Structure formats: structure tokens, C-alpha cells
């Protein structure tokens, strides 16, 4: 426990001094990692803790971002109102898509979500007058304090930290524990009188909300939105982040986001074959590190210490 | 050979004149570091053909420029692959500006990426030269101080084609286009000019298909059945090849006269070989075999020697982009970005197609358009532009007043 | 609007549906038997088109070029699929399902770049033999002669699949495995081999679709993108793992689009998606009974 707090203090300190000591591009990169990390963590609420095959999480990220972009540039909303409505719109979409998906079996859940999500993507790609079609929307005017990199970084860092704190609390709450119990044994939970579908739907809405928050922060950082934010490839990439970091740990998706964003920036600079690199890495990961980086660390620590008494160790969860 | 020498003399003469003018006006400057250009373009996926061609033209220009340098400096460049994805393109541009600290950004084939980077360039006050993307919004409605275009745009193409089709007496049109930025821009522009030239022109109907639509037969047969007098197609890249093949297969152009920007272009016709339809009206701003001037011949020879194939229009754009950048830095006598922008405004340089001006009011290069009709020619392994005519750039450009109004509307 | 125009447009839409059917039948087969949404299915379709082009190009103008290409390409993609399945995927069957899906995503990333390494980014065109070039006028519609090949290929593949699943032992076993794989395993059948066979067959169909589409379009990187989403939708609408569902879904997709052109050409693109969305909202598990 002590070491966890030490890590947290270290991370907070690092984030606080980052804009002062790092060159601008790396400040931007840290902010991008935070946004992506929040997105992946929100997915993990339903994927790792909820055991749901959320195949198209990017849709909620995109809806959050597009709500802000369309609200500010087309509807003339004040920026702060748009920032609030972005996550709300994403949560609403999460409820609608979840409503149709949660009663289905796992894989079917994922497939149907992929299909419904693709409709949202097609709307964003085709509805030129509103969404800007394949262009997206660029140069979105933001309040003056957010127009500097330092200002954008400050807001991103603060909101991501608060959101992660809330997600952490959710995972530990009775709701979060019930969700994990449902994941581990849906039949038993059902028999015990737990409203399984309701819990899963609530988790989806919550995850969609925080994906929407990440979408809003993306706009703060980039001042642009793109239809590729809603494309299925991005959603699979977020899944890969969860897997890479370890999807049975809270910090895993964050670690995955660091590695993926870093890889894309570094490998993408030197070779046009970076998807090949990512593909090979992913395959190796599946075979040799299936619990992800954090899962592996946790297992090692558990192996070093006395026999673990932690409930539901990572390896026990199988669909 | 004599033609070649004459061209070299011409270039040398211009340079000498420029440096003499510079020398007489002020003491010689020496840049204390090299000029760094950041190139963001598609180097993977199908559009890489265009991206690589442009880069080769740019490389050729740099070879020529760096022989003597620009105030003692060389022009260097770094490339980033945007994978035809504006999101990646924007983050690459950010990295080039913030991390690599490039002096000038250059790119892209993707109009969506060009517009995204343009908004970023404006925010960062970095000059950005667009060399393939043709959306007129780039230097039109969404133009600004830091964005320039060294490529012909959809406003120019639409006007040239509209004039040619109206002159042929067609009044009932079907518009068919690919549903993306370029498709919308070129089709809207064509129809706007047709209506301006002939207000009674009738739009029979319009069809939009998505990018990457593999099978265009349903779309084209539908148009054939509706029997419009003529058809306009707003498509580019891989979609272009698909339209041309489908036209060839169902004999479309023989029944419905069709106009497509870039239909006579080498980058479109060469990969198709003889599987391209004859009789399609088209425009482009560069052909390696026409006009057959010494300047063009010299450029084509050098390009062929360096890269083993004839230059397409992207190569031409890459080549003049290099020379525009070098000449603007020469004039600016400084590595300052603001001075560079001011030097580039209104700059005229000699190019393989003659003198080209970078118009000051909208930062759009005034490029001539070539109009022609696709035709087989035994001397070439691919179809060529038959009956080519050159339309001076000034005749197809929107006026500065048009630009001012478009920008105001966008605000 | 006359009946001939509608019939003609229907004919054109059917040709498109057949390609969609062949590709999505392969996807559906793998889904039904292995329960894996194979994300690299689209890559194999693209690979099939490129292989077909290479074979046809190697034989030059020889009229047999196209037929040989149509025969070779699916075998190549089936071989690729079989190697991937036997060497890698089969080791994951005991694992979390998500791993299988992400694995196929990894293979997709690798395959797409391999195709780029081998063929480069240039567009390719496969010219059909002279007898299939040009168009024939059917019911006042200029129908490409090659469309006849497509219109014949669909039913042939459908019949072959029917014979396979109903009349062969392997087919019966895979059908049984689709419904209850544990039961099949208990009965002493080597389920793993059935999986390998079904997977290879699915990949064969992806390659066949790619080879068939090659002469009608430009063969490029990225040609797999929209097709993959379309076939996922078709498979969902038809009912996961149900081969006839794939047929129904493909017809719905191809025909609504070409008929949509007659009604409202400007928005025809959106028609198939609107129809599939409507179907899914009413019947989230698809039109026909899902194999799961």
C-alpha cells in the first residue's frame, strides 16, 4: 500500500512540473497520453471490470468531441456549456446503444455494438453541413485561457486526474464490486437477485460518460475533431491498450496508452510500416504477456510475497 | 541539347539578376543555419503514388537549389507519413513544428489533412505550402496569412471545365461524385460556374457514392438510363481509376459526354494503360509531353534521369514548391517566418510551364490549365490528351473580390 | 420510371450482392464454427485481388489468365489462413475470446503491410479476356458482360456451401460444432481439425471474393476497409453464423443500394445502412436464426 501512494505522489509531482521542464512537444504528448489513458481506463470499466465486449468504445469518445465541436462552431454554444454537454451526449448514446446490447450474449453484444457504432461513424462522415464530413472541424475557437499549450495542459491534467479518481472510487464501491461479481459469475449473481442487466447498463453509461470527457479534452488539446475518432480501428486500438497494460488492473490501460502513443510517435517517425510493428507486437503480447504489463508485475509481486489472498486474481477470469 | 543550355542560361540569368539586385540593394547576407522544411504527406496506402511523385519533384528542385545554396544555406527536409488520415497528419505537423522546429510546412494530398494543418499553421504562425490537395477552401474561404497553394484548385478546374462544356452547347447535366471533401468542392465549383455562364442550365439529378466504392456500375448505368446531355464526375485518386474503367467497360463516354478534372492527367491514365476510355473531357495543370517547350523538356529529362519515369502533376508541384521556397528565402534575406510570408506574396518564378505567380491576395499560384479529351496514341503506352489547349491561369482564377467575399461569408 | 429500368438496376445490384455474399459467407462460416469475428477477413479479400492480378499479369493476354487467377487466388488465401490458424490461432482456442479477436486484428495489421511490401502502393487493373470485355444491353441497361460471371458465381458458391454443410461429414461436424462444440468434442471428433478446415474455407471465400471483384475495380491498398464493415453488417443482419442469413443480408444490401439509386440517387449511399439499422432495431439478433 505504501508503495502505491509513493507512486501516486511521484506521478502527481511529475505531471505538475512537466509543463515547466519539458519542451512543448513533450508537454503536448503527455497531455495526449492522459486523454488517451482516460479513454482506455473508461473502456476498462466495462471491459475488465464488467466483462462486457465493448468493441466500439471510440464512438462515445467521438460523440463527446463532436458535441463540443458542433455546439461551439455551428450552434454558437458557450464553450463551457459545450464541455458539459459533450459527456452528457456520450452517456446518452451509451444508454441507447447499451439498451439494445446488454441483453445479448457476450460476442453478439460486441458485434451489434460494432454495427450500431458504425452507423454513428457514417453519420459523422456523411453529414457534411453539420459534421464537416471527412474534413472534420478544425480551428475550434476556445476561451482565451485554453488557447495556450500550458492552459490546455492544465485543464487536461486536472480533469483527467479527477476523472481517474472517480473511476477508482467507482471500481471500489459496492456497485463496482457487484459489477465484478457479475463478470465472474453472471448466473450466480442473477440467482442472488442482482439486477445484472441494470448494473451492466449503468456501467456502460458511466464508461461512455468518461469516454465523452476524454473526447472533450481531445478538443481542448487539438481544437479539431475527425471522423476517424469514431472509426472501428481506433476502438480496437483502445482495446489493445487495455490488453497491453493489463485489463484486470486499474492502472493497466494507462500504461497501455503510454506505450501505444509513444510507439506511434516514435516508430511512426522512422518507418511507414509502423502498423506492421504494432501488429507483430500485439501478436507477441497475446502469446507471451496475456495479462499485460501491469498484470505481469502484479503476478510477480504476488509470487514474491506470501500466497495471495486477493479475491479473483487476474488468471481466474475466463469467459 | 541547345534547348537545355538555353534553359540553364535562363535560370542562371534570373538567379544572377536576383542576386545582383539583392547585392546592390544591401550587403550580402549569410544564413547562420540551413533551412528546414517539414513534409507531411501520404507515403502509405494508395495515394502514396501521388505523395512520392511530389516528393521526387521536390527533391529534384532541392538538388538544383543546393548546388549554390540560399544565402549560404542549404534546404533540408524531413518527411512524415500521414497515412491519408487528417488526425495523424495534424499530430505529425505538430511534431515537426514543436519538436523538429521546421521553418516551413509542406504537404499534402488529402484535402481534409491540408485544412486541418492549415488551421494549426495559422495558430502557430508557420508558413504552410499545399502542393497536391485541391480543395478551393484552402486558399479560398478558409485561407489566411500563413497558407499558400502551389497546386491548381477546384475553383480553377470547375471553371475551366464549365466553360468548355457550356461552349459545346450542353445544358442538361447529371452530377456524380465521390462523397468527400474534394468531390464536393470540385462538383460544387463546376455547377456554380455552369449556372453563372448559363443560368437556364438544368440539373437532371445528382449521385454521390462513398470513397472506395468498389463497384460503380449501378451508378453509371443509372445515369445512362436517365439520358442527360452531359455528365460531370467529381472524383480523384483510386476513385478516378474506377470511374474511368467502368466508363470504358459500359461505353459510357460514347453515349453521355463526360467531363472530369484530371481525366487527361498522366497519373490517372498511365496506371490504366489501354483500359481507359476514349473521349472523356478533362483538365489538368501539367502534362510531361505538352506543351513541348525547352523548359518542360529539360525538366522531364532531368526527372526521368533521376527517378526513371516521367513526372506527373504532383512532381511538377513539388518542383515549383521547392523553387518558390528557395526564391522567397532569397528575397526575404532572413529566416524570419513573417519576412518569408511577405516575400512569397506576389513572387514570380520561372517554371517548366512558364512564369508562375504566387498571387498576393489569396496565396494561390496562378497556374495555367490544360483542357483536352482522352485519346489513344500509338506513340504512348497510355492514353493522352487529344486537342490540348492551354487556358491561362488568370482566366480561370476566382477574382480577389470573390476570395474576399468567400472569406467574409466563412466568418 | 419504367419496369425495364427497375429490372435492369435490379440485375446490376444482384451482381454486387453476389460478391458481398461470397465474402460474408466466409466471415459467417468462421463466426459460426469458431465464434471468431475474423478481422483480417478483409485483408484476405484484398490479398486475393492482388494475387489474381499477379497471376493474370504473368499470363499476359492469354484468355485463360482470368480463370487461372480466379482458381489460384482463393487457394493462396486459404493457405495463408490455414497456416495462421494451425501455427498460431489454434493455440489460443482455450483462451479468453477477446484474445482471439485481438489476435485477428494483429494479423490484419501485419497482412496489410505485407501486401504493401509485396505490391507497393500503386493501383492495379486486371483486364478481363476480350470475350468478357464491354457491355451487353439487357432490358435497356448496359450491363457489363463480366457481371454474368458474378451472377453465376454467387449461386454456384451457395450451392457448393449447401452441399458441403449438408452432405459431407466435415460439413455436418462443423454445423454441429457451430451449435454445440462441447457435445461434438465429447463424441470423439477432433474439433480442432474441423476448426482448421472451416477457417481455411472461410479464407478461401474471402480470396475468391477478392479475385472475382478484381476485374471490376482498381486493386489498391485499403480496398478492404469499407468491405469489412459491410460484411460485418450483413452477417449481423442475416443472423450470426447463418450462411443463408449472409445471402439474405447481401441481397438486402446490394439491392437496396441499386434500387435506392432510382428513387433518390443523391442519398443512395445511405440506403443499405438505413435498412440494416431498421432491421437491427426491430430484430437485434438478425433476420434468420443465429447459429448461436
Total H helices, total E strands in chain A:
14, 0
Cross-chain Cβ contact C141/B224 below 8 Å: yes
ipTM of the complex: 0.84
SS3 percent helix, strand, coil of chain B, rounded to 5, is: 45, 20, 30
**What is the distance, to the nearest Å, from the Cα of residue C145 to the centroid of all Cα atoms in its chain?**
21
Three-class SS of residue A193?
A: coil
Cross-chain Cβ contact A107/C95 below 8 Å: no
Cross-chain Cβ contact A319/C96 below 8 Å: yes
Q: For residue A63, what is its C-alpha cell?
A: 460523440
Which partners does chain A have (≥3 C-beta pairs < 8 Å)?
A: B, C
* A chain contacts of residue C99, beta-carbon cutoff 8 Å: 243, 286, 290
* C chain contacts of residue A116, beta-carbon cutoff 8 Å: 277, 280
| CB proximity list for C107: less than 8 A, separation 6 or greater | A279, A283, C39, C40, C43, C84, C88
| CB proximity list for B124: less than 8 A, separation 6 or greater | B97
Cross-chain Cβ contact C92/A280 below 8 Å: no
Q: How many inter-chain contacts (A to C, CB under 8 Å) are there? A: 109
**Cα–Cα distance for residue pair B341/B271, rounded to 1 Å:** 38
**Cα–Cα distance for residue pair B339/B371, rounded to 1 Å:** 37
Cross-chain Cβ contact A53/C96 below 8 Å: no
* B chain contacts of residue A25, beta-carbon cutoff 8 Å: 94-95, 98-99
Contact C286, C236 (CB under 8 A): yes
Interface test with A, best of C34, C102, C271, C289 (most A CBs within 10 A): C102
Report DSSP state, residue C91.
Answer: G
**Cα–Cα distance for residue pair B262/B282, rounded to 1 Å:** 6
Whether the model pTM is above 0.80: yes
* B chain contacts of residue C273, beta-carbon cutoff 8 Å: none
Could you tell me which chain B residue has the CA closest to the CA of C137?
A: B250
Q: How many inter-chain contacts (B to C, CB under 8 Å) are there? A: 132
pLDDT tens-digit profile, chain B (411 residues): 455 555 555 555 555 455 544 444 566 888 889 999 999 998 877 778 888 899 999 999 999 999 989 999 999 999 988 888 888 889 889 989 998 899 999 988 888 899 999 999 998 999 999 999 988 889 998 999 999 999 999 999 999 999 999 999 999 999 999 888 889 889 999 999 999 999 999 999 888 887 777 778 888 888 888 889 999 999 887 788 889 888 888 888 888 999 999 999 888 888 888 778 999 999 999 999 988 899 999 999 999 999 988 999 999 999 999 999 999 999 999 999 999 999 999 999 999 998 999 999 999 999 999 999 999 999 888 899 989 999 888 888 989 998 999 899 877
* C chain contacts of residue A278, beta-carbon cutoff 8 Å: 106, 109
CA distance A181 to chain B (A): 39
Q: Which helix (H) or strand (E) holds B258?
A: strand B258-261
Q: Is the dihedral of CA A56, A58, A64, A70 positive or negative?
A: negative
**Residues in chain C, overall count:** 292
Report DSSP state, residue A307.
Answer: S
Helices (H), B202-312: 217-226, 237-250, 252-255, 266-272, 294-307
**Cα–Cα distance for residue pair B142/A152, rounded to 1 Å:** 24
Q: For residue B170, what is its C-alpha cell?
A: 450542353
Contact B317, B55 (CB under 8 A): no
Report DSSP state, residue B348.
Answer: E
> Pairing mode, if any, of strands C141-144 and B230-234?
unpaired
Could you tell me which chain C residue has the CA closest to the CA of B273?
A: C125
Q: How many CA atoms are closer than 13 Å to the CA of B378, on its beta-carbon side?
A: 0
* B chain contacts of residue A226, beta-carbon cutoff 8 Å: 85-87, 112, 116
**Cα–Cα distance for residue pair A256/C102, rounded to 1 Å:** 15
User: Given this model, what pLDDT does residue B274 score?
Assistant: 79
User: Given this model, what pLDDT does residue B131 score?
Assistant: 93
Q: Is the dihedral of CA C115, C117, C119, C121 positive or negative?
A: positive
**Cα–Cα distance for residue pair C253/B215, rounded to 1 Å:** 13
Cross-chain Cβ contact B180/A133 below 8 Å: yes
Q: In what order do the strands lie in the sheet with B348-351?
A: B348-351, B354-358, B365-366
Cross-chain Cβ contact A273/C117 below 8 Å: yes
| Facing C116 at nearest CB: one of B44, B217, B250 | B44
* C chain contacts of residue B278, beta-carbon cutoff 8 Å: none
**Cα–Cα distance for residue pair A191/B299, rounded to 1 Å:** 80
Which tens digit of pLDDT belongs to each residue from C39-68?
Answer: 899 999 999 999 999 998 888 767 788 888
Cross-chain Cβ contact C292/A105 below 8 Å: yes
Amino acid at each position: 500500500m505504501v508503495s502505491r501512494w509513493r507512486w501516486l505522489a511521484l506521478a502527481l509531482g511529475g505531471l505538475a512540473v512537466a509543463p515547466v521542464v519539458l519542451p512543448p512537444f513533450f508537454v503536448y504528448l503527455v497531455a495526449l497520453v492522459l486523454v488517451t489513458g482516460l479513454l482506455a481506463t473508461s473502456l476498462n470499466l466495462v471491459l475488465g471490470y464488467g466483462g462486457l465486449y465493448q468493441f466500439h468504445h471510440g464512438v462515445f469518445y467521438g460523440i463527446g468531441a463532436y458535441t463540443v465541436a458542433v455546439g461551439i462552431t455551428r450552434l454558437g454554444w458557450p464553450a463551457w456549456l459545450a464541455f458539459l454537454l459533450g459527456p452528457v451526449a456520450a452517456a446518452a448514446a451509451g444508454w441507447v446503444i447499451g439498451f439494445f446490447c446488454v441483453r445479448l450474449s457476450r460476442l453478439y453484444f460486441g458485434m451489434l455494438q460494432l454495427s450500431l457504432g458504425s452507423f454513428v461513424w457514417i453519420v459523422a462522415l456523411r453529414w457534411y453541413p453539420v459534421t464537416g464530413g471527412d474534413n472534420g472541424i478544425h480551428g475550434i475557437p476556445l476561451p482565451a485561457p485554453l488557447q495556450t499549450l500550458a492552459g490546455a495542459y492544465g485543464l487536461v491534467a486536472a480533469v483527467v486526474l479527477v476523472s481517474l479518481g472517480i473511476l477508482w472510487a467507482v471500481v471500489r464501491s459496492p456497485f463496482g464490486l457487484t459489477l465484478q461479481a457479475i463478470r465472474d459469475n453472471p448466473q450466480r449473481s442473477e440467482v442472488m437477485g442482482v439486477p445484472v442487466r441494470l448494473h451492466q447498463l449503468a456501467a456502460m453509461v458511466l464508461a461512455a460518460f468518461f469516454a465523452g470527457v476524454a473526447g472533450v479534452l481531445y478538443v481542448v488539446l487539438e481544437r479539431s475533431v475527425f471522423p476517424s475518432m469514431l472509426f472501428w480501428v481506433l476502438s480496437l486500438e483502445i482495446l489493445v491498450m487495455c490488453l497491453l497494460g493489463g485489463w484486470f488492473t486499474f492502472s493497466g490501460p494507462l500504461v497501455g496508452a503510454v506505450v501505444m502513443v509513444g510507439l506511434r510517435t516514435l516508430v511512426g517517425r522512422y518507418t511507414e510500416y509502423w502498423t506492421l510493428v504494432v501488429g507483430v507486437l500485439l501478436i507477441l503480447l497475446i502469446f507471451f504477456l496475456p495479462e499485460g504489463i501491469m498484470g505481469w508485475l502484479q503476478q510477480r509481486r504476488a509470487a514474491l510475497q506470501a500466497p495471495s489472498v486477493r479475491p479473483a486474481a487476474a488468471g481466474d477470469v475466463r469467459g | 541539347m541547345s534547348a537545355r543550355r538555353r534553359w540553364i542560361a535562363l535560370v542562371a540569368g534570373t538567379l544572377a539578376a536576383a542576386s545582383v539586385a539583392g547585392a546592390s540593394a544591401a550587403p550580402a547576407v549569410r544564413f547562420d543555419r540551413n533551412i528546414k522544411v517539414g513534409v507531411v504527406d501520404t507515403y502509405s496506402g494508395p495515394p502514396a503514388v501521388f505523395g512520392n511523385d511530389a516528393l521526387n519533384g521536390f527533391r529534384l528542385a532541392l538538388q538544383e537549389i543546393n548546388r549554390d545554396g540560399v544565402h549560404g544555406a542549404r534546404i533540408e527536409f524531413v518527411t512524415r507519413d500521414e497515412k491519408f488520415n487528417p488526425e495523424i497528419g495534424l499530430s505529425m505537423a505538430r511534431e515537426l513544428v514543436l519538436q523538429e522546429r521546421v521553418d516551413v510546412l509542406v504537404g499534402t494530398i488529402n484535402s481534409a489533412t491540408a485544412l486541418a494543418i492549415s488551421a494549426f499553421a495559422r495558430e502557430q504562425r508557420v508558413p504552410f505550402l499545399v502542393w497536391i490537395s485541391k480543395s478551393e477552401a484552402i486558399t479560398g474561404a478558409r485561407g489566411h496569412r500563413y497558407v499558400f497553394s502551389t497546386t491548381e484548385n477546384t475553383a480553377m478546374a470547375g471553371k475551366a471545365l464549365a466553360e468548355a462544356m457550356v461552349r459545346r452547347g450542353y445544358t442538361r447535366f447529371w452530377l456524380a461524385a465521390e462523397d468527400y471533401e474534394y468531390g464536393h468542392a470540385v462538383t460544387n465549383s463546376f455547377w456554380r460556374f455552369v449556372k453563372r455562364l448559363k443560368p437556364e442550365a438544368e440539373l437532371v439529378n445528382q449521385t454521390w457514392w462513398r470513397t472506395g466504392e468498389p463497384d460503380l456500375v449501378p451508378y453509371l448505368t443509372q445515369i445512362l438510363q436517365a439520358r442527360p446531355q452531359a455528365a460531370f464526375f467529381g472524383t480523384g485518386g483510386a476513385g478516378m481509376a474506377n470511374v474511368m474503367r467502368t466508363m470504358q467497360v459500359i461505353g459510357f463516354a460514347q453515349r453521355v459526354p463526360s467531363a472530369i478534372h484530371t481525366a487527361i492527367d498522366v497519373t490517372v491514365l498511365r496506371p490504366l494503360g489501354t483500359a481507359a476510355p476514349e473521349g472523356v473531357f478533362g483538365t489538368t495543370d501539367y502534362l510531361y509531353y505538352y506543351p513541348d517547350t525547352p523548359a518542360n523538356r529539360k525538366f522531364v529529362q532531368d526527372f526521368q534521369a533521376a527517378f526513371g519515369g516521367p513526372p506527373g502533376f504532383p512532381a511538377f508541384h513539388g518542383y515549383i514548391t521547392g523553387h518558390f521556397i528557395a526564391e522567397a528565402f532569397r528575397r526575404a534575406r532572413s529566416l524570419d517566418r513573417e519576412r518569408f510570408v511577405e516575400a512569397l506574396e506576389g513572387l514570380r518564378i520561372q517554371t517548366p510551364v512558364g512564369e508562375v505567380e504566387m498571387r498576393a491576395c489569396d496565396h494561390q499560384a496562378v497556374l495555367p490549365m490544360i483542357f483536352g479529351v482522352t485519346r489513344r496514341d500509338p506513340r504512348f503506352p497510355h492514353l493522352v490528351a487529344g486537342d490540348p489547349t492551354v487556358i491561362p491561369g488568370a482566366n480561370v482564377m476566382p477574382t480577389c473580390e470573390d476570395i474576399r467575399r468567400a472569406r467574409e461569408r466563412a466568418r | 420510371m419504367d419496369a425495364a429500368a427497375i429490372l435492369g438496376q435490379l440485375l446490376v445490384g444482384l451482381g454486387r450482392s453476389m460478391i458481398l455474399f461470397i465474402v460474408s459467407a466466409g466471415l459467417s462460416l468462421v463466426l459460426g464454427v469458431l465464434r471468431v469475428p475474423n478481422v483480417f477477413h478483409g485483408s484476405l479479400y484484398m490479398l486475393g485481388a492482388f494475387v489474381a492480378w499477379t497471376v493474370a499479369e504473368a499470363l499476359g493476354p492469354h484468355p485463360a489468365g482470368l480463370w487461372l487467377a480466379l482458381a489460384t487466388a482463393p487457394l493462396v488465401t486459404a493457405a495463408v489462413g490455414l497456416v495462421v490458424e494451425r501455427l498460431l490461432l489454434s493455440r489460443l482456442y482455450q483462451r479468453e475470446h477477446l484474445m482471439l479477436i485481438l489476435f485477428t486484428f494483429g494479423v490484419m495489421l501485419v497482412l496489410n503491410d505485407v501486401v504493401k511490401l509485396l505490391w507497393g502502393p500503386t493501383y492495379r487493373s486486371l483486364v478481363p479476356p476480350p470475350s468478357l470485355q464491354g457491355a451487353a444491353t439487357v432490358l435497356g441497361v448496359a450491363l457489363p458482360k463480366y457481371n454474368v460471371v458474378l451472377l453465376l458465381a454467387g449461386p454456384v458458391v451457395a450451392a457448393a456451401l449447401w452441399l458441403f454443410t449438408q452432405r459431407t461429414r466435415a460439413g455436418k461436424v462443423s454445423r454441429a460444432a457451430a451449435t454445440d462444440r462441447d457435445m461434438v468434442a465429447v463424441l470423439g471428433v477432433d474439433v480442432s481439425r474441423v476448426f482448421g478446415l472451416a477457417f481455411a474455407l472461410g479464407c478461401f471465400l474471402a480470396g475468391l471474393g477478392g479475385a472475382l471483384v478484381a476485374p471490376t475495380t482498381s486493386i489498391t491498398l485499403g480496398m478492404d476497409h469499407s468491405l469489412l464493415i459491410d460484411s460485418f453488417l450483413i452477417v449481423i443482419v442475416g443472423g450470426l453464423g447463418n450462411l443463408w442469413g449472409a445471402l439474405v443480408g447481401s441481397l438486402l444490401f446490394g439491392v437496396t443500394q441499386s434500387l435506392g439509386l432510382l428513387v433518390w440517387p443523391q442519398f443512395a449511399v445511405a440506403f443499405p445502412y438505413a435498412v440494416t439499422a431498421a432491421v437491427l432495431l426491430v430484430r437485434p439478433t438478425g433476420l434468420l436464426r443465429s447459429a448461436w
